C-alpha cells in the first residue's frame, strides 16, 4: 500500500490491512514473521508531514540467544509517526544517516510505502535478545551440543570412568575414618 501525498491532501485515510507472512521483507534471515501482521491506523497530511497513527499486531519467530532454537514473540505496538518531506537539496548519504540517528523520519517524492513503516515498527518492537525458557541451558561452548536436550560429550570426559575406582577407594577411606 502506497501512501500518496496527493491523496492524503484531499482526505484522511483509514487503514485496515492484514499482511500475510512473507509479504514484508525484514531484510534479515534471523527474523521471520509467522502470523498475519494486522494494522489499524489513520494516515493524514499535517503541515506537509505525513502522519500515521495506529497500532499493529503480529507474531515473529526469532532465535533463542542461548540455544538458537526458534522462539515466537508476540508483537503488539502502538505508533504515532511523522514523516517530513526530504529537503530538495539532497544531502550526502552520511548526513542523512546522522539525521536518522536524531530520529527524524523523511519521505521522498510522492509519499511512502506502508510496508516500510510497518517493517521499521516491528523491528523497533522486538527485544534485543530472546530466551526460549528462563532456565535455558544453552549450547556447550566446547562441542555445540544443545544442553536442554542432551548431555554433551565434554561432561562425560569430566567423569572419566577410569577415575571411578580411585573415587571409590577415597570414599572407603573416608568411611573408615
Q: Which stretch binds Zn ion (CB under 5 A): 13-21, 110-118, 143-151, 169-177?
A: 143-151
Regarding 66 and contact with Zn ion (CB under 5 A), the answer is yes
Q: Which residues from 113-132 bind Zn ion, rule CB under 5 A?
A: 132
Helix (H, G, I), strand (E, B) or coil at 7: helix
State which residue, 89 or 134, has the beta carbon closest to Zn ion. Answer: 134
Nearest in space to 90 (alpha carbons), one of 110, 114, 106: 106
- For residue 168, what is the enclosing H or E element? helix 164-176
Instruction: Report the C-alpha gap between 149 and 97 in whole angstroms.
Output: 44
Q: Angle at Cα 105 formed by Cα 8 and Cα 30, nearest 5°? A: 110
Q: Which residues from 25-64 bind Zn ion, rule CB under 5 A?
A: 64
Regarding 67 and contact with Zn ion (CB under 5 A), the answer is yes
Contact 67, 138 (CB under 8 A): yes
Number of chain residues interacting with Zn ion (CB under 5 A)? 10
Of 143, 166, 167, 169, the residue at the interface with Zn ion (CB under 5 A) is: 143
Residues that bind Zn ion (CB under 5 A): 64, 66-67, 132, 136, 140, 142-143, 152, 154
Amino acid at each position: 500500500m502506497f501512501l500518496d501525498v496527493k491523496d492524503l491532501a484531499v482526505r484522511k485515510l483509514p487503514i485496515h490491512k492484514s499482511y500475510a507472512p512473507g509479504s514484508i521483507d525484514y531484510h534479515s534471515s534471523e527474523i521471520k514473521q509467522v502470523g498475519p501482521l494486522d494494522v489499524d491506523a489513520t494516515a493524514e497530511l499535517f503541515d506537509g508531514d505525513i502522519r500515521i497513527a495506529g497500532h499493529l499486531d503480529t507474531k515473529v519467530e526469532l532465535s533463542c540467544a542461548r540455544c538458537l532454537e526458534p522462539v515466537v514473540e508476540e508483537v503488539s505496538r502502538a505508533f504515532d509517526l511523522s514523516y517530513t518531506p526530504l529537503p530538495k537539496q539532497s544531502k550526502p548519504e552520511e548526513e542523512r544517516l546522522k539525521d536518522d540517528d536524531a530520529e527524524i523520519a523523511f519521505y521522498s517524492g510522492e509519499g511512502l510505502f506502508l510496508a516500510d513503516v510497518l517493517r521499521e515498527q516491528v523491528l523497533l518492537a522486538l527485544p534485543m535478545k530472546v530466551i526460549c525458557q528462563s532456565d535455558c541451558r544453552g549450547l556447550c561452548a566446547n562441542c555445540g551440543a544443545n544442553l536442554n536436550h542432551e548431555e554433551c560429550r565434554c561432561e562425560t570426559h569430566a567423569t572419566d570412568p577410569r577415575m571411578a575406582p580411585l573415587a571409590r577407594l577415597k570414599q572407603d577411606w573416608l568411611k573408615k575414618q
